[in-house]
Chain A
Amino acid sequence: MSDNPANRRFERESAKRVFATELREAYHHFREGTDEKSPTYILLPTGERCNRVFITGTLTEKKKSEGEAVFYQIRVMDPTGMFFISAGSYQPEALHQISTIESPSYVAVVGKPGVFQAPDGRNLVSIRAESIVAVDKSVVDCWVLDTARLTLDRIETNTDDPDHQKAAEMYQRTPDSWRAKIKEALASIQI
């Protein structure tokens, strides 16, 4: 494949696997290129850019907006923490799917993460859902394994590429400090 962007074939961004505890600590976001349509990324503290995530967990709360436009906010819990997820009229598929899921249920969510500033100045990471489906426990267990593996890959390999260097600069945590969280997540699986 050529390095010239004009010749490069469109490749969809892969959906990153990330635990709630890591995602909530991400705050650095940036746009690749200057075009209005250029993709935006958030930089994960373990040193990888991310424009789409695939997460699973327990949907613990579902809130429908009161106003005119239909808008859902849901909370999904993984073994390490909470994901905040929303879907509005620009995500018709997700909107339709959420309306049929009750809390609590196990769900899998594909969506785009974004960083927002809360009124008190804190950064909040929330995921705009593209799709959400009810799944069974085994999918969540597979996801925990998958996410543990890919998180370990992120802290163990390519640690000198630009994304890793940027992360080291932006985030105070050492890459190795995530190991405890990964173990916590793995330990939550009951065989």
Chain B
Amino acid sequence: MELKEIADRISEKFAAAGHPIDRAKLEERIFRFVDEFSVPPAEAERSIISDYSRMFGMEIPSSAPVEKNTDEITPISEIVAEQWVSVEGQIVTLFPSRSPSIAQSGVIADSSGAIRFTIWAKADAPVVEEKKWYRVESAVADEYNGQVSLKVHSGTTITELPPEATPAPEIIPIGSLSPNRWISIEGEVTTLFPPRSPSISQSGIIADASGTTRFTVWASAGAPLLEQGTWYRFDLVETDEFNGQVNVKVHSGTTITPLSGDEIPHMEDTLVGQITPGVFSLKAKVVAVEKPQIDQILQRGILADETGAIKFVIRNTPEAVPLEENQWYAISSAVVDLYRGALSMQVLPGSAVPIEEDLSIRPNIIPVTQASPGIVCLRVKLVQEYENTSERILQAGLLGDESGTMRFITWKDDSAQRLMPDMVYGIYYASVDEYNERLSVNLNGATLLPDESATMQVRSPNEEVKGALVHLSPGSGLIKRCPVEGCGRVLSRQNYCPIHEIQPNYVYDLRVKGWLDDGQKTYDTIISREGVEELTGLTLTSAQEMAENDPLGLDTVFYHVNELVLGRYLICRGKTFDNRLFAYNCEFQKFNPGRLAELINRAEGPLHE
């Protein structure tokens, strides 16, 4: 195991210098670095060596090239410059020779990655062939312009691997592609882009159940033309990054096989609530349909099951048939994309089969504050109506429930209805959009059911600031306030109020004073006692006890609060004035996996169609 080797190297090194190291402690240390904190092994080794060197007063070694045992095969992705290495890989591309001193050059790849290689003419090496696997022993890795490559010289041995020793190509799920690999994928061509350049024969999007990616077929690949809606297997495609996106490139070495019938991976039905971008099969009920406003679209609507709902669209092609409202369908190979943060499913012609299953669906009603872009069901009340800014708007404003509030809009159309004040509504299958990081729910097409007997207390619309607490000011933690009616100023250490002078009968309070920073703006923030209690779990009484039982007094509460909140991401609700924030309700921000997916998508960059 790698960690053991690091431990061996470190303990040998220090034992040789007369400083034996406790092996168990050393291994635990390495394990902590590498496993618990995912520090790369080389950095962990460097850091631990320099720690021990300091401890023993030895000179800290500079980072000399690591001597690798060249009998050992190095995964290609782990090759660093200034190393002698042996690799086993497949020649995936050969470049035309540029110079008489170079016999051959190209790219060699294994399952971990790919690297360029150069075989010097002087090396007298055997001629290598594309697609074949070789073992290359004692080659030199060096770096030029930041790119590491392998040099084959006269001391290097190249042997072709027998077919039984070459790993079988493994199909990589499209959702987990990483760049700079030569791999195999299987997927459906869901979109083809118009040709952009004579060097590209085709480009488009390919998808499987795990995700989608763009592909490019070079004209030089001589590949057969791909058809939209067909599944293919691609053997030996290159993944790379262009404009920051992981792309798949089809080269002359790539083998393309169309898949049919049983060869197409069978897809289990997925629950609507668990759908992400990719290709899916599902059973769902059509809960809403909409007339298309443009020629290209035959039908838009909403599909739902017990777990959630999703928008669907059917393109206006000759074979396309619209779906019936309130009918259940088994839908196969539907392509799901993310559009403005919301999922949208494209139902392909012939892929939806009606099923005799009229299960009634109990819609999944969620609190307003948990809404995200997509289709939602809510139970809400009108909070505030905005003045109409456009002829086309029937009603716009704020609606809310016990959890919070959200903007809504209803455009004028035949079936649109107004929300009445004080009435509680069940709103089914409304669409939520995000605009300028604010959510807004569109009530057109949704079902609105008033519940005349219900009452509801809407949580007042607070302003919300999300950010990191980057500084905690003195005067945070447990403080003393002036007891004079209507004053309440914070007293100095000598119990001195700037207005009412010495006040020995002060009252205690808890607060946080500091800077909440969202990366764009910094708020001069005061968090009230309620907020501090929510964040720290302290109460006024427990904070007082803490201060009374510690020689540091009030400072101990400050340090305690400091340790819990400084450098943390908070969501604070309250009132803002310019750059001041008074917060009385606070929580720690939690990691949001949906946000992660959204950002990965955004980092892809605009689709260059």
Q: Is the CB of B243 closer than 8 A to any CB of chain A?
A: yes
Interface string of A109-148 (1 = CB under 8 A from B): 1100000000000000000001111110011011101101
- How many A-B Cβ pairs are below 8 Å? 140
Contact across chains for B567 and A131 when beta carbons are under 8 A apart = yes
B44:A60 contact, CB within 8 angstroms: yes
Q: Report the Cα distance A109→B524, complex, angstroms.
A: 19
Q: Counting CB contacts under 8 A, is A75 at the interface? A: yes
Are A178 and B244 in touch, CB under 8 angstroms? yes
Query: B32 and A104: CB pair below 8 A?
Result: yes
- The majority secondary structure among interface residues of chain B is mixed
Q: Can you list 15 pairs linking A and B with CB atoms under 8 Å apart?
A: A14-B517, A16-B519, A63-B54, A77-B39, A104-B33, A133-B563, A134-B563, A139-B568, A149-B599, A152-B603, A182-B244, A182-B599, A186-B596, A186-B599, A187-B178
Q: How far is the CB of A153 from chain B (nearest CB, A)?
A: 8
7 A-B pairs with the lowest CB-CB distances in the bound complex, closest first? A179-B244, A108-B567, A133-B567, A104-B37, A141-B591, A61-B47, A142-B569
Judge whether A148 and B47 touch: CB under 8 Å: no
CB-CB under 8 A from A187, the residues of chain B are 178, 600
> In the complex the two chains form, is A15's CB within 8 Å of B517's CB?
yes
Residue pair B521, A61 in contact (C-beta under 8 Å): no
A143 to B469 CA separation, bound complex (whole angstroms): 12
Q: Is the CB of A58 within 8 A of B54?
A: no
Q: In the complex the two chains form, what is the Cα distance from A11 to B580 in whole Å?
A: 11
From A108, A130, A150, name the one whose CB has the most chain B CB atoms within 10 angstroms: A108
Query: Considering only CB atoms, which chain B residue lies closest to A133 in the complex?
Result: B567
Minimum C-beta distance from A87 to chain B (A): 15
The interface residues of chain B lying within 8 Å CB-to-CB of A82 are 43
- 7 additional A-B residue pairs with CB within 8 Å, beyond A12-B515, A104-B47: A11-B579, A14-B517, A146-B569, A148-B603, A180-B244, A182-B244, A188-B38
Q: Which residues of A contact B50 (CB under 8 A)?
A: 61, 63
Residue of B36, B524, B563, B599 with most partner-chain A CB within 10 A: B599
Q: Which residues of A contact B38 (CB under 8 A)?
A: 58, 188
In the assembled complex, the Cα of A176 lies from the Cα of B44 at a distance in Å of 32
Contacts of B600 in A (CB 8 A): 183, 186-187
Question: How near does chain B come to A1, taking the closest CB pair, in angstroms?
Answer: 8
**Cβ distance A137 to chain B, nearest Cβ, rounded Å:** 9
CB of A176 within 8 A of CB of B519, answer no
Q: Are A131 and B471 in contact (CB under 8 A)?
A: yes
Query: Are the C-beta atoms of A17 and B33 separated by less than 8 Å?
Result: no
Chain B residues lying within 8 Å of A183, measured Cβ to Cβ, are 241, 244-246, 600, 603-604
Residues of A within 8 A of B519 (CB): 14-17, 54, 146, 150
Minimum C-beta distance from B125 to chain A (A): 34
